[in-house]
Amino acid sequence: MSYFRAVRIYSALESLLFAALLVVWIGGMSKHTQELLGWAHGIAWIGLCTAVAVGCRRGVFPWPLLAATVSPIGPFGSSTGLELLRRGRVSAETS
């Protein structure tokens, strides 16, 4: 599995975790679940930022992807950026 694909999958999973946290928080559900999802998201987001930064240093990703990852929309920004990069690669390969 390529580094690009691994980070893309990790970003998607982190997006799901962040979305679950938002649903629980906005829905006013269990405080314990909010805390658990908050810690899990925080740790996973730091890992995602690190993985994207390493990819940027290796030349796998452009630096603006790191900016999208550390933005307030976090994993949604990185997932969107990674999908745009993937589509650009696919269209470049088919051309």
- Taking the C-alpha atoms of residue 31 and residue 33, their distance in angstroms, rounded to an integer, is 5
| Residue 95 pLDDT level (bands cut at 50, 70, 90) | low
User: What is the overall mean pLDDT for the chain?
Assistant: 92
Give the global pTM. Answer: 0.86
The mean pLDDT of 74-79, rounded to a whole number, is 88
pLDDT tens for 42-68 read: 999 999 999 999 999 999 999 999 999
